[in-house]
Protein backbone atom coordinates (compact mmCIF):
# COMPACT_ATOMS: atom_id res chain seq x y z
CA UNK A 1 0.00 0.00 0.00
CA UNK A 2 2.83 2.39 0.82
CA UNK A 3 4.49 1.73 -2.54
CA UNK A 4 1.28 2.69 -4.36
CA UNK A 5 0.99 5.90 -2.34
CA UNK A 6 4.62 6.86 -2.93
CA UNK A 7 4.28 6.13 -6.66
CA UNK A 8 1.14 8.23 -6.96
CA UNK A 9 2.73 11.09 -5.00
CA UNK A 10 5.80 11.02 -7.24
CA UNK A 11 3.65 11.23 -10.35
CA UNK A 12 1.66 14.17 -8.99
CA UNK A 13 4.83 15.90 -7.75
CA UNK A 14 6.44 15.50 -11.19
CA UNK A 15 3.45 17.05 -12.94
CA UNK A 16 3.31 19.93 -10.45
CA UNK A 17 7.05 20.49 -10.81
CA UNK A 18 6.81 20.73 -14.59
CA UNK A 19 3.82 23.08 -14.41
CA UNK A 20 5.61 25.36 -11.94
CA UNK A 21 8.73 25.34 -14.13
CA UNK A 22 6.69 26.67 -17.06
CA UNK A 23 4.94 29.26 -14.94
CA UNK A 24 8.15 30.51 -13.35
CA UNK A 25 9.65 31.47 -16.72
CA UNK A 26 7.69 34.71 -16.79
CA UNK A 27 4.30 36.25 -17.27
CA UNK A 28 2.15 34.40 -19.76
CA UNK A 29 -0.17 37.30 -20.62
CA UNK A 30 2.54 39.73 -21.74
CA UNK A 31 4.49 38.73 -24.86
CA UNK A 32 7.14 41.42 -24.30
CA UNK A 33 8.17 41.84 -20.66
CA UNK A 34 10.06 45.04 -21.47
CA UNK A 35 8.54 47.81 -23.60
CA UNK A 36 9.98 47.85 -27.11
CA UNK A 37 11.50 51.10 -28.33
CA UNK A 38 9.22 53.08 -30.66
CA UNK A 39 11.51 52.55 -33.64
CA UNK A 40 12.10 48.85 -32.83
CA UNK A 41 10.53 45.93 -34.64
CA UNK A 42 7.10 44.80 -33.63
CA UNK A 43 6.74 41.31 -32.15
CA UNK A 44 5.76 38.53 -34.54
CA UNK A 45 2.28 37.83 -33.15
CA UNK A 46 -0.83 36.33 -34.73
CA UNK A 47 -3.09 39.02 -33.24
CA UNK A 48 -2.29 42.59 -32.24
CA UNK A 49 -1.98 43.48 -28.57
CA UNK A 50 -0.98 41.32 -25.61
CA UNK A 51 -1.64 37.71 -26.44
CA UNK A 52 -0.44 34.25 -25.62
CA UNK A 53 -0.54 33.05 -29.20
CA UNK A 54 2.61 33.62 -31.25
CA UNK A 55 2.51 33.30 -35.02
CA UNK A 56 4.62 30.13 -34.90
CA UNK A 57 4.13 27.73 -32.03
CA UNK A 58 7.36 26.77 -30.35
CA UNK A 59 7.76 23.68 -28.21
CA UNK A 60 10.56 25.04 -26.06
CA UNK A 61 8.61 24.37 -22.87
CA UNK A 62 8.73 20.65 -23.63
CA UNK A 63 12.52 20.59 -23.64
CA UNK A 64 14.25 17.83 -21.75
CA UNK A 65 16.80 20.19 -20.18
CA UNK A 66 14.14 22.09 -18.22
CA UNK A 67 11.85 19.18 -17.36
CA UNK A 68 14.16 16.28 -16.54
CA UNK A 69 13.55 16.36 -12.75
CA UNK A 70 9.78 16.22 -13.27
CA UNK A 71 10.07 13.50 -15.88
CA UNK A 72 12.35 11.52 -13.57
CA UNK A 73 9.82 11.75 -10.73
CA UNK A 74 7.02 10.63 -13.04
CA UNK A 75 9.13 7.74 -14.37
CA UNK A 76 10.01 6.49 -10.90
CA UNK A 77 6.37 6.79 -9.83
CA UNK A 78 5.22 4.78 -12.85
CA UNK A 79 7.84 2.10 -12.17
CA UNK A 80 6.69 1.84 -8.55
CA UNK A 81 3.08 1.47 -9.60
CA UNK A 82 3.95 -1.13 -12.23
CA UNK A 83 6.07 -3.07 -9.74
CA UNK A 84 3.02 -3.53 -7.54
CA UNK A 85 0.98 -4.77 -10.51
CA UNK A 86 3.65 -7.24 -11.64
CA UNK A 87 4.35 -8.66 -8.20
**DSSP conformation letters of 13-26:** HHHHHHHHHHHTTS
CA dihedral (78, 65, 61, 4) in degrees, to 10, reads 10
Q: Tell me what pLDDT residue 24 has.
A: 78
Q: pLDDT band for 2, please (50, 70, 90 cuts).
A: very high
Give residue-wise pLDDT tens across range 19-65. 888 777 765 555 555 555 556 565 555 556 666 665 555 566 667 77
Amino acid sequence: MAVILIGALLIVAGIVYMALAVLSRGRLSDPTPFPAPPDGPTPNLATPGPTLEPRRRGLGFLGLSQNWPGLLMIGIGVMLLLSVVVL
